[in-house]
Structures are given as C-alpha cells and as structure tokens.
Amino acid sequence: MIEKLKAIKEKFSKVSIKDRNLRKEYSAQVAIISSIVTIISFCAPSFSSWKWRIGFSILFIFFLMSLFIYDWYRANQTKYAYLKINGTNVNVKIGDIFTQDGLKIIGVNNYIDLVADDVIIAKTTLHGQFIMRHENEIDEIKKAINTSSTLILDENSDRCDQQSYDYGSCVLYKDYILTVLTKFDLRNKAYTSVQEYIQFWMTLWMNIDVLYNSRTINIPILGAGQTRFRGIKPEKQELIEIGLWTLKESGFHNNYADKSINFIIYEGDAPEIDFYRIQKTFQ
C-alpha cells in the first residue's frame, strides 16, 4: 500500500497543485464550462425538485474536481514542449543527441581537447563520446579547428603549448558544432559561472547564425553533466530555460521550411524536467 502511494505521489511530483499556470488553465476551462451550463439552464426546463437540484450540484462539483485532477496529472506527465520563439519552431523533447538529424551541438573545454582518457576528458561526457565516435578522424577535426572563423582567441591560456578559446567559440565539423562551454583552471578542472554561462549562450547563438546553413539544430542540456559552476550550480530545468531565454533575446531564428531548433533531453534527465512549465512560460 505504501509503495502504491509513493508511486502515485511521484506521478504528481513535478507540477505543484498551487502552480500558477495550472490554476490559470483550469480557471479558463471552468469559465467556459460555466458559461455553457448557464446557457443550457436558461434554455432547458428548470428542475422543480430540490433533490434534483442538489444532485446536479454535487455531480457538477465532482466533475470540476475530476477535471482539475486530470489537468494536474496531465501537466505532470507532459514529456515534450512545442514552442514558437522568434518565428522558429522550438521543440523540447526526450531523445539521444547523437541520433538526431541536422546539426548537433557538443560542449567542449577551452582547449578543445581531442583525447578521451578519463583524465582530462571523461569518456562518459558528450565531449568524450564525440571523440570516441571520431577517434580515427582527429587530424580532420584539427584541420577544422585551424580553419574555423568562429573561434575567439582567449589570451589567458594556462597551457604554453595550446591555444585557449573563449566561451561560445565554435568549430563546425561535419554535422557537429563543438562549442567552448568551460575553461580549465591550473588543476585541469573545467569551470564556468552563471554569468559566463549566459555569455556563452549569447555568443553561441551568434556563431550558430554563421554556421547552421538553414539546418535543424539539436542541443543537449549544456552544462548538466560534469560541468562545474563557481557557486551554486543551476538545476537542469534552469539550464534549459536559460538556453530558451537567450534564444529569445538573441533574435536568432531558424524558420526555413520545416527546420527547427530541438532541445534534446536525455531519458535519464526527463524526471527532473518540468515540460509543462516550459510550455506555459515560453509559449
């Protein structure tokens, strides 16, 4: 019995019963239903018996309560968000970034290291997975780095033998865009901050505008993995919302034919994402 109660509680854990968007949506539904009932009451014969009136009132209240519970459940079970930002179709959905059609954005460090050795670059990160998927193409990737026009040099390099690049710098390689998300310190630990993260996004949108060539753009939750933040690390929900907010502020759009911008959520991260809130906040 306890396990069943826990399972039910989990189904209603994302969206609070006091959620402003949920109550606003429910109030709109009640207003429409009340209007319909009022019209019907004027046209239909009135109930002469008080028992009929009480029974109908109880039934109507029960219906409204059931409707709210249904809305609340549906909000908690939402697993996608379809938005329109700057005239562009923007989808927030569950999936694997590496299996998406179109451009795929991969966050890297400021040296764009190309060795996944679990020392500098962990194999479990998207950066590491990209390297392992292209381990026989390192020379081609280096050539793309050397010829990229969307790399911004960072003069504060701590490695005398490697060039450092600033936040949001980009390298286009095939259908991937490698973008500088973090910077290493002297102990080879990659960091960023909330302020730098916002700066990263604004620069990224500017560089994507140069590179995307009217293709669909797929973006994971950048900064959600092993990225270290100075101070408090934003929740995954906040990281996505920052990405959406900066997209809106940047003015970037991808409304060519059926192309879109997709924020791809890893299946394991989905329980932490309130898709309903995203849908209502950015609609």
- The band of 274, judged by pLDDT with boundaries at 50, 70 and 90, is very high
**Same-domain pairing of 193 and 86:** yes
Confidence tier at 48 by pLDDT (50, 70, 90): low
Same domain? For 67 and 140 the reply is no
Does 71 lie in the same domain as 93?
A: no
Say if residue 225 is in the same domain as residue 246. Answer: yes
Distance CA 262, CA 281 (A): 17
Of 160, 162, 178, residue with least CA distance to 170: 178
- pLDDT above 70: residue 47: no
243: nearest Cα among 217, 276, 219: 219
Q: Does 112 score more than 60 pLDDT?
A: yes
Are residues 16 and 89 both part of a single domain? no
The pLDDT value recorded for residue 160 is 67
We report the CATH number of the domain holding residue 210 as: 3.40.220.10
Pairwise CA distance, residues 40 & 68, whole Å: 22
User: Domain tally for the chain?
Assistant: 2
For the stretch 20-32, pLDDT in tens is 998 999 899 988 9
Q: Does one domain contain both 210 and 274?
A: yes
For residue 158, pLDDT beyond 80: no
pLDDT tens digits, one per residue of 222-234: 988 778 888 888 9
Kindly state whether residues 134 and 177 are assigned to the same domain: yes
Domain stop point among 18, 48, 77: 77
Average pLDDT, the chain: 88
Contact 141, 173 (CB under 8 A): yes
The band of 7, judged by pLDDT with boundaries at 50, 70 and 90, is low
Give the domain range for residue 31: 2-77
Indicate the pairing of strand 176-184 with strand 190-192: antiparallel
Q: Could you tell me if 251 and 126 lie in one domain?
A: yes
Show which of 57, 77, 97 is a domain's final residue: 77
Domain boundary among 48, 77, 106: 77
Query: Residue 52 contacts by C-beta under 8 Å, 6 or more apart in sequence?
Result: none
